[in-house]
Every structure is written in C-alpha cells, then in structure tokens.
C-alpha cells in the first residue's frame, strides 16, 4: 500500500496550535462544503476538483498522440506561459533523469531573443512537433513564439506535414487560437472552461507534454485521485493535511507572517516550487491581501538566503517539502589519515547528510524565530507528485476563501498585458498608448 503525503506542524508552536486550529473548524467546514457544493466565490472555476477522475476521458487520446510524438520526433516544443507551461515543466523535471536527453523543450514562457535564436539554430536538423497551449491565443509571449516557430518549421515541412506536427491545446469553442487551429486543420485538445490555467496540470495542458516526455500519467492521476478522495470526504481540520496546511497558513497570516518560503532539499523540486509560486500568488494576491510565496532550493540557498532566514525580519514562515525515499545510495568512503577531515561522515550516505541538513536547518530556523512546518512526500515518483499537486490546489482554495478573496480569478495579471499591448501598437489601445507615452517621456 502506497504511503500518503502528510504534514508535520509541531514547529509552528506557539503561533499555531491544535486548539487554535480547532477554533476555526466551523469556518473551515463551511468553506469545505461550499467548494464541493460549488457555492463559493469563483464557483464557475471549480472543474479542477474532479480532474483526477475527469482526466480519464482524454487519457487515451493524450497517450496515443504522445506515443506518436515520441516515435516521429526528436523533440516536442511546448509553447505556453504560466499555467500553460509550469505544470508540465515541473512534472518532467521532478520525474526525469537530469543527465539524460529530455525530449520536451519549452518556448513562449519569456521574450528572450537570444533564447529563441539558440533554440531555432538547435532545431535546424531535428524533427519536431509543436504543442501550442493557450486558452485564448491572445497572450503575447506564446502567440509571438508560435508565429516564429511556424515560420521556422515551414522551411523544412510541407503544409500537410505541418498539419500533422502542430497540436493546439485551447478553448473548445472560441478564441484566436481556436479559430486559427480550426482553419489550418491542426489537431486540438481542449482546456475545460471551468479550469483556470494554474489548476490545469491534470488537463491536456499538462498531460500531453508530460506523456510525451515518457512520464507515468496513470500514477500521477492515481496520486491526485487519492488526495481528492481524502479532501472530499474529510473536513476535519486536524485530520485532512490540506485543510491543516491552509488553516495554519491563515493563522500565521493573521499574526503578521505574510511571506511563505517553500524549501526543498532536492534539485528535482525546483520547478514544482515555481508552479507553487504561481498557484498561491495568483490565487491569494488580490484586494491588498495574501501571503507572498517564494521558494528556496536547499542546501544551495542556505549559502545565500540562509542568513536572512535565520536572522532577518520575522514576517516569514517556512514550509519544508521532504522527499522520503531515494533511488540511489552513495556511501561516503573512509580515507586513511583523513586528509580532508571528513572521516566523521565516512560510512554514511549522501541521503544521510541531506536528511541531517534538513533536520539541522528546521530546528535552527525554529530557534531563530522562524516558524516552520514540513510536508512529507514519500518518494520522488509520479504518485507522490500527483498527491502534492492536488494537496496544494485544494489548500490554496481553502486558504483564499479563509482570506475572503476569490481564489480562482486573476484580475491583476491583465494590467501589464494591456500596457504591453498598447506600447506595441495593438489596435484598440491607442488611448492607453498615448497615456503611457507621456509617462515614458516624463510629462
């Protein structure tokens, strides 16, 4: 029987205690009910709640196209930004061997000319497929990237071959990308109307590139489904780890702890941390409310951020993610005469050293006045990652509703998009462009 993700909050005391958590049980139960009854704020975007089950409907089609890509192409170019990119990148990085060839490359998640030029040069003699991912097709970064990659691919593929090699993941009925893909007869996968981008990793948005990379979709979905079952059936703030995490964060926020540091001691977790930052930042950061999410890669960042975490401003709290099982054990050798003075760790494994680094860090930070908790994930595998994804998604929904914001919209994201569109000369933005031009000139 597989072990489940769990949460240890013992080092949050005295800021968070079981009694303080239980005091919020009535409120948490009400929020829990409003989510599953779909009566909460933002209830039009709750499709993610049942995605682990719903994903089975597209599972076969995704697997079939992914196998085709793996057979007929050297690389899949995944074009997207934010939620259209981070889930796939996080999953592939978490589950893959970093020193083996990765067959999924990413474009459209920034606007770097040098990056694009290097990628196009690299792809000249490679066979590729493209998966362009955008609900509307109007987001500038992936839209520009898609136009550029089409131009590059047209140099070596016929129109009919391009139809085969370009796959659009977009809205079911409308939008620039939908209309373009329909006109060009590209194959399409659908982004559900009721699933926001940052919650879309278990839709074809994430599943197609993840499957193309050879990751185990079935185990990923099994893990998510097991956490879904727990979150649906259990509204006890002490027994459901996602509810415990959400409520503990809320209690810390009420005490002025408005920055959360997500710290992990495995480099494989780095992009899961990036995915988590978007999930929590976009869900909570509105109406001048919210906990600022940031992530640290340990032990590397102990030699950069460690001083601040230990002795800086105490507006912080920390959440460690601890991965249990490792797949390789490397023992540290004993050397005669001990020239490097390391025989005190001889016979121990790198995993032993890493575990003691985690233990030493969490107690040091606690002693320094930095409350922290630990999410225990049994192993670096697809099942545990599926559990983590659903754990965080359910927790941020509850956390946002505790703060009395809509966790499922992101109105603030549009501000920079409108300014950029105006400055680039997009039709319909002339008045905004005139205002910005004056600001730029200092008028």
Same domain assignment for residues 223 and 213: no
User: Catalytic: which of 3, 20, 222, 417?
Assistant: 417
Tokens describing residue 192: 């559900």
The reply to whether 109 belongs to the active site is no
Largest CA distance in the chain: 76
The reply to whether 110 belongs to the active site is no
Return the bridge partners of 374, or none. 8, 320
pTM recorded for the entire structure: 0.95
53 Cβ partners below 8 Å, 6+ apart?
Answer: 225, 228
Same domain assignment for residues 115 and 211: yes
Whichever domain contains 235, its CATH number is 3.40.50.10490
401-413 CB burial, b ≥16 within 10 A, e <16: bbbebbbbbbeee
Q: Are 102 and 223 spatial neighbours (Cβ–Cβ below 8 Å)? A: no
Last residue of one domain, picked from the residues 159, 184, 217: 217
**Mapping DSSP to helix (H, G, I), strand (E, B) and coil, where does residue 427 land?**
coil
Quote the DSSP letter at residue 113.
H
Same domain assignment for residues 94 and 149: yes
Same domain assignment for residues 226 and 116: no
C-alpha separations of 341 from 287, 334, 352, 434 in Å: 55, 10, 18, 67
Same domain assignment for residues 281 and 185: no
Give the number of other CB atoms < 10 A from CB of residue 43. 14
Same domain assignment for residues 123 and 67: yes
Same domain assignment for residues 126 and 206: yes
Same domain assignment for residues 230 and 377: yes
- Residues of the chain predicted below pLDDT 50: none
Same domain assignment for residues 72 and 12: no
Tokens describing residue 419: 């300014």
**How far is Cα 64 from Cα 399, in angstroms, rounded to an integer?**
38
Radius of gyration of the chain (CA): 23
Q: What is the pLDDT of residue 441?
A: 79
| Residue tagged 């994903």 (tokens) | 55
Domain that holds residue 428: 411-441
**Mapping DSSP to helix (H, G, I), strand (E, B) and coil, where does residue 293 land?**
strand
Same domain assignment for residues 421 and 368: no
User: Catalytic: which of 303, 337, 439, 441?
Assistant: 303
Q: Are 41 and 405 spatial neighbours (Cβ–Cβ below 8 Å)? A: yes
The reply to whether 184 belongs to the active site is no
Tokens describing residue 73: 């192409």
Quote the DSSP letter at residue 430.
H
Tokens describing residue 334: 């004993």
Q: What is the pLDDT of residue 1?
A: 59
Same domain assignment for residues 189 and 313: no
Let me know if residue 153 belongs to a domain.
Answer: yes
Q: Are 127 and 72 spatial neighbours (Cβ–Cβ below 8 Å)? A: yes
Based on the structure, what is the number of domains in the chain?
3
Q: Are 87 and 279 spatial neighbours (Cβ–Cβ below 8 Å)? A: no
Let me know if residue 121 belongs to a domain.
Answer: yes
Tokens describing residue 316: 């912080």
pLDDT digits (tens, 9 = 90+) for 290-344: 999 999 999 999 999 999 999 999 999 999 999 987 788 899 999 999 999 999 9
Phi, psi of 7 (to 5 degrees): -135, 135
User: Catalytic: which of 282, 284, 318, 393?
Assistant: 282
Let me know if residue 82 belongs to a domain.
Answer: yes
């Amino acid at each position: 029987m597989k072990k489940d993700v769990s949460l240890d909050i013992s080092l949050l005391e005295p800021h968070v205690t079981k009694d303080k958590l239980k005091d919020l049980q009535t409120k948490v139960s009400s929020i829990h009910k409003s989510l599953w009854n779909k009566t909460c704020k933002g209830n039009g975007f709750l499709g993610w709640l049942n995605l682990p089950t719903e994903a089975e409907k597209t599972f076969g089609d995704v697997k079939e196209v992914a196998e085709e890509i793996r057979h007929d192409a050297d690389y899949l170019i995944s074009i997207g930004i934010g939620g259209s990119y981070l889930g796939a990148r996080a999953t592939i990085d978490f589950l893959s061997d970093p020193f083996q060839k990765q067959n999924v490359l990413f474009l459209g998640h920034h606007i770097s000319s040098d990056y694009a030029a290097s990628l196009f040069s690299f792809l000249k003699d490679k066979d590729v497929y493209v998966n362009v991912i955008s609900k509307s097709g109007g987001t500038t970064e992936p839209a520009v990237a898609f136009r550029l990659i089409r131009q590059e691919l047209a140099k070596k593929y016929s129109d009919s071959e391009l139809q085969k090699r370009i796959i659009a993941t977009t809205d079911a009925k409308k939008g620039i990308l939908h209309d373009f893909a329909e006109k060009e007869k590209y194959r399409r996968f659908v982004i559900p109307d009721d699933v926001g981008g940052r919650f879309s990793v278990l839709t074809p948005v994430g599943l197609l590139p993840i499957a193309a990379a050879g990751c185990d979709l079935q185990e990923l979905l099994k893990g998510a489904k097991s956490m879904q079952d727990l979150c649906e059936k259990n509204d006890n703030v002490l027994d459901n780890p996602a509810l415990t995490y959400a409520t503990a964060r809320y209690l810390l926020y009420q005490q002025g702890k408005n920055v959360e540091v997500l710290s992990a001691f495995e480099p494989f977790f780095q992009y899961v941390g990036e995915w988590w930052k978007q999930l929590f930042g976009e869900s909570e950061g509105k109406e001048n409310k919210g906990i600022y999410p940031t992530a640290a890669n340990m032990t590397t960042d102990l030699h950069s951020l460690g001083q601040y975490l230990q002795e800086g401003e105490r507006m912080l709290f920390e959440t460690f993610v601890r991965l249990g099982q490792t797949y390789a054990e490397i023992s540290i050798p004993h050397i005669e005469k001990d020239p490097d003075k390391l025989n005190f760790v001889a016979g121990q494994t790198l995993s032993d050293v890493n575990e003691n680094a985690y233990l030493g860090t969490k107690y040091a930070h606690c002693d320094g006045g930095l409350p922290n908790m630990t999410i225990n994930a049994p192993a670096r595998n697809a099942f545990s990652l599926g559990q983590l994804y659903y754990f965080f998604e359910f927790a941020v929904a509850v956390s946002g509703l505790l703060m009395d914001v809509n966790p499922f919209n992101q109105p603030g994201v549009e501000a920079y998009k409108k300014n950029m569109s105006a400055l680039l000369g997009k039709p319909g933005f002339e008045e905004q462009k005139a205002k910005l031009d004056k600001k730029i000139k200092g008028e």
